[in-house]
Chain A
Amino acid sequence: MDTPRNQIERLGRQDNPFDPEFPDADLDRIASLAPFKDMDPESFPKKQPLRTILRSDTRIRRFKRGEIIVRAGDYGSSAFMIVGGDVRVVLPPGLPDRVLGRREPAKRSVFRAVAQLWANHRNPEVRTPEELGGGGGADPESGSRVFLQDVPRLIGKNKTVTLGPGEFFGEIAALSRMPRTATVLCDSDDAELLEIRWQGLRDILKNDAALRAHIDALYRKNTLSNALRSFPIFQHLDEEQLAQVAAQTQFGTYGEYDWSGDYKKLAKAGTNSVDKETVIAQEGDYPDGVIFIRSGFGRLSKRFGSGQRTLNYLGAGRWFGLREIAHNWRDPGAAVPFQFSLRVIGYTHTLFVPTRVMEQVVLPGAPNALLPGPLTTDELDADDDDPLKEQGGFAQRIGPELMEFLTGRRIFNGTATMVIDLARCTRCDDCVRACAATHDNNPRFLRQGPVSAGIQVAQSCMHCVDPVCMIGCPTGAIHRDASAGDVVINQATCIGCTSCANNCPYDAIRMVEARDTGGDFVTDKESRPVLKATKCDHCIDQYGGPACERACPHDALKRMDMTRLDTFATWLHR
C-alpha cells in the first residue's frame, strides 16, 4: 500500500547521528584509542553501549594549519578530543572579533521579510518537507571556515598553550552551557579531531569515572589559572602567585545538573524554596574562604524574622565572602563572620579559595581599588528590619517582593526575559500579533504568566544563561546560536520527544502538531501526529530585533537581561 503523502517515519535519536556517514573503520579506530579503549564496557547500560554513543554523538573533523576550531565567546554544544596533530589554545584576552571572522546571525533578505505580508501560511504550524524529514546532525557551529594567516603575528603578545593527541578541550562550554572561554586554532598541517556532542560526552562521563577525573585534571592544568585571572582580585598576581592560588583552589559543584524537575515540584507545591536549597556558606559562620561562582547561580540572603530575605542573586563571575575576609585581614582583632548566606539555586559550579591563601598570597599585594571597604559599624549593627538597605542601589529600588519573586521563580536565568509592566499594558495583544506575523502566523509565546508587584513574566523563552531545556535533547535540535547565544530549535532535527518542553522550568516551549504545506496534519506510520517543539527564537533572523518588544505601543513590554539587575531597576523606575 502506498504511504500517504502526509505520513512519515517517526524520527529517533539514532536517526540523527552527528555524522550520518560515520565509517565503521573510523569508529573501530576511535574505539581503539585511549581513553575509550580503557573504558569498561560493563559500566555502560546495555541499551546504550559506548559504541552506540560514539556512533551517534561523535564525528571526525579535520583542520588545516591556522584554521579556527572554536572561537572564544561562541556557544558550543560539543567538546573535542585530539586524535592526531596539535592545536593551539589562545588564552585570554584573546583575538579581536575582526580577526576571528565573527559574523552577525544571518537575517532574511529584504524581499523575504516583506514577503511575510502575503507568503505566511494560512494554516498553523506548517513545516516544509526539509523540516519534516530530518536533516542529519544539527551543526549549529558550522559555517564557512575561518583561517588565520600569519598566526604568530596575529597572536602577538597573547599567551598560548599547545595541546596534543589524547587531550580534550571545549568540554566546559559544552557541559555547562556557557560560552567558549578561549579560541583554539589548528597548529599542525593536518589535525584530526573527534568532536563529541555534549549529550554523548555527558553519557560517557556519567559511566566512566576515570574520564571525569581526567577532565578535572585537565581543567586544573590548562584553564584554572585563566578562570581565576578573570576575577579582578587575582589580576595583580604574578604567575608564581597565581599557581600557588590555583594549587589550593577547590572545585565545588552543588545542586542538580537537571534542576528543572526539582524546581517544578517546588513551584507546584508552593513551597518556599529557600529552605530546600543547599547552603554553600552560612551567615554567622567563620569565613573560611572566598567562593567564586564559575557557572550557575547562588542566592544571597540574610536572616529576617524567622526566614531568609533574598538580597540578590550571584551569577558567573561574582564572588562571596571577600569583604569579610579583607575586613578580618585588615583588623584581625575585630574579626567578623559571614554577613550573609549563599545558597545554591539550581546547579552551581564554584571555585573556593581558602582564607589562608587569600591572606598570605592575594590580599597583601592587592591594589586598594580592588579591596572591598571594611564593614562599617552601621552595617555590622544594622538590625534586621530592612536588610535591603544594606544592599542599597538597585536591590532597594526593585524591592523585596520582586526580589523574592525573581529569585524564587528563577527568573534571573533569563537573558531575554519578557517582562510586562501591567500598569502600562493595555492588553491590546499587538505583541502577540507581531510575533505571529514574523513566525508564519504562529505566535511563539503566551501573554500570560506569573505576576509580582504589577510585573508579569510572560511565557516566552528567556534564552537562559543556563538553558536546562537543552539537557535532554537527544539530537541537539535545541541549541544555542553560536554567535548570538540565543537558544533556537532546528526543526529538521527535532524528533518531537517533548524533552525540552518538559524540562523548561518556565513552560516556554510548546509542542505542536505539524502540518505539511498542503495544510494536512503529518502523521507517522502508526498514524500518530508528528510533534515539533516551538518557542520564541528572539526574532534572530528578523530585522530590528524582537518584534514583540518593537510592537508594544505603551513601552510596557521589554526583553530584559535579568542577569543585569541594574538595568531592570532602571526600567522599573523609567
Chain B
Amino acid sequence: MMRTTVKRRLSGVLLLVAAVVALSWGHRQLAPVMRHLAYLSGWLLLAVCLFLTAYNARKKLPFLPLGNSRTWLQLHAYVGYFSLALFLAHTGWRWPTGAFEAALASLYLAVAASGVAGLVWSRIVPRRLTARGCEALYERIPAIRRKLAEDAEALALASVAATRSTAVADFYKLHLAGFLGRPMNGWRHLAEVRSPLMRIEARIADLDRFLAPEQRKVLGELAVMVAQKDGLDYQRSLQLSLKLWLFVHIPLTYSLLILTVLHVVLVFAFSGGAGAN
C-alpha cells in the first residue's frame, strides 16, 4: 500500500505539472492577442510572492486557526516551484538588460535557490542528526560541552595523583584540551568528514599501548568524552546550518519584495499609461 507521504508528494507533483502546463498553454494563447501580457504575469507573480511570504506571517500567528504549518510548507514549496515557471513566463525566457531588472531577477533566483536548497537540506540533515546520536538542544550544547571539558580536565588531573604519572595529563594537555574546549570541525561535520576524530582516536590508541592498566582506564574514559564532544560538535554544526539558511532565505525574500514594489512603481511611472488591454 502506498504511504500517505508518497501519495501526497505524487499528488503535489502532478498538480504542479498541470499548473505549469496550464500556464504555458494560457501564455501561448494570450501572447498574440494581449499586448501587455507582462502586466498580467507580473501582477500574478507578485501575488504568488506575497502568498509565499505569508507563510512567515502564519508562523507568527500560531494562536489563530490558519491551517497547519505542514500544509503551508507544502503549498509554499509547490507554489514556489510554480513561481519559477511564472517568472520565466514574465521575463519571456530572456535575461533582463537593465541593471535594476537584472538585480531584481538575480534576487528572485537567489530566493528560489536558497528555498530549494533549504528544503533539500532540511530533508537530509534530520536523518543524519538522528543516525549520529548525541542528541542535544542547540542552546544547551555550550553548557554540555563546558561540563564535558571540566570533567575531562578533572579526570586528567586526578590521574596524576592516582597513577603517579603525568603521561595521561600531558597527553590531555597536548592533544585533548584544545579539542574539548571549543567547537571544532564545523565544516568537516557538514561534509561528513570523520578524519579529525579518527586522528585523535589513533593518537589515543597509540598512547594506550604504553600505559599501565589504571592509566588505560582513565584514557578510556577520556576517549568516551572525546567521542561525545565530537558528537556535540556534529549536532552543533548541522543544527546551526539548519538555522542559518533561514537567515539567508528570509532577508533575501524581504529584499525581493522591496525591489518588486520599486519595480512596479518604475514600470507604471515609465509606461506612459500603458495598461493590460
Which residues of chain A have a CB within 8 Å of any CB of chain B? Answer: 113-114, 116-117, 422-428, 430, 433-434, 437-438, 447-448, 451, 454, 456, 542-544, 547, 549-556, 573-574
Contact = CB atoms under 8 A, between A and B. Distances in A.
B81 interface: no
Interface residues of B, number: 29
B73 interface: yes
Contact of A454 (B59, B69, B130, B242): B130
Interface of B: 3-5, 59-70, 72-73, 122, 125-127, 129-130, 135, 137-138, 239, 242-243
Contact of A551 (B69, B130, B239): B69
Contacts of A553: 69-70, 72-73
Contacts of A574: 3-5
A547 B63 contact: yes
Contacts of B68: 549-550, 552
Given A451-B135, A553-B73, A574-B4, A114 B125 contact: no
B5 A552 contact: no
A543 B63 contact: yes
A427 B59 contact: no
A550 B72 CA distance: 10
A553 B67 CA distance: 11
Contacts of B69: 430, 550-553
B242 A426 contact: yes
Contacts of A547: 62-63
Contacts of B3: 573-574
Contact of A427 (B65, B67, B70, B138): B138
Nearest to B122: A426
B96 to A, nearest CB: 33
A427 B239 CA distance: 7
For A434, A456, A553, A556, the residue with the greatest tally of chain B CB atoms inside 10 Å of its CB is A553
B63 A424 contact: no
Contacts of A447: 137
Nearest to B5: A574
25 contacts: A113-B64, A116-B63, A422-B126, A422-B129, A423-B126, A423-B127, A424-B126, A426-B122, A427-B126, A427-B138, A427-B239, A428-B243, A433-B59, A434-B62, A437-B60, A437-B63, A438-B63, A448-B137, A544-B66, A550-B68, A550-B69, A551-B59, A554-B70, A554-B122, A555-B70
A556 B62 contact: no
A553 B74 CA distance: 8
Contacts, number: 80
A528 B132 CA distance: 44
Given A550-B69, A553-B73, A574-B5, A114 B64 contact: yes
Contact of B135 (A422, A438, A573): A422
B64 A543 contact: yes
Shortest 4 CB-CB contacts between residues of A and residues of B = A434-B62, A544-B65, A422-B130, A553-B73
A113 to B, nearest CB: 5
A573 B65 CA distance: 27
A425 to B, nearest CB: 5
A426 B125 contact: yes
Given A423-B126, A426-B122, A426-B125, A552 B70 contact: yes
Nearest to A435: B62
A30 to B, nearest CB: 46
Nearest to B62: A434
Given A422-B135, A423-B127, A427-B242, A437 B70 contact: no
Nearest to A120: B63
B63 A426 contact: no
A544 B242 CA distance: 28
Given A547-B62, A554-B126, 14 more contacts: A117-B61, A424-B126, A426-B125, A427-B126, A437-B62, A438-B63, A447-B137, A448-B137, A456-B135, A543-B65, A551-B69, A553-B72, A556-B126, A574-B3
Nearest to B68: A550
B62 A438 contact: yes
Nearest to B125: A426
B192 to A, nearest CB: 16
A447 B61 CA distance: 20
Contacts of B73: 553-554
Given A423-B127, A430-B69, A451-B135, A551 B62 contact: yes
Nearest to A570: B4
A430 to B, nearest CB: 6
A116 B67 CA distance: 18
A65 B249 CA distance: 66
A434 B66 CA distance: 13
Nearest to A546: B62
Contacts of A573: 3
Contacts of A437: 60, 62-63
A434 B243 CA distance: 17
A95 B4 CA distance: 38
Nearest to A455: B130
B61 A426 contact: no
Contacts of B60: 117, 437
Contacts of A550: 62, 67-69
A138 to B, nearest CB: 25
Nearest to B235: A427
A424 B138 CA distance: 16
Contacts of B137: 427, 447-448
Nearest to B139: A429
B94 to A, nearest CB: 35
For B70, B72, B138, the residue with the greatest tally of chain A CB atoms inside 10 Å of its CB is B70
A372 B62 CA distance: 48
A548 to B, nearest CB: 9
A176 B221 CA distance: 48
A427 B129 contact: yes
B164 to A, nearest CB: 35
Nearest to B245: A426
A365 to B, nearest CB: 39
Contacts of A544: 64-66
Nearest to A453: B130
A456 B242 CA distance: 19
Contacts of A542: 63
A425 B130 CA distance: 9
A375 B35 CA distance: 79
Contacts of A555: 5, 70
B24 to A, nearest CB: 30
A438 to B, nearest CB: 5
Contact of A430 (B59, B63, B135): B59
A426 B64 contact: no
Contact of B242 (A114, A428, A556): A428
Contacts of A451: 135
B249 to A, nearest CB: 13
Nearest to A574: B4
A200 B70 CA distance: 46
Contacts of A423: 126-127, 130
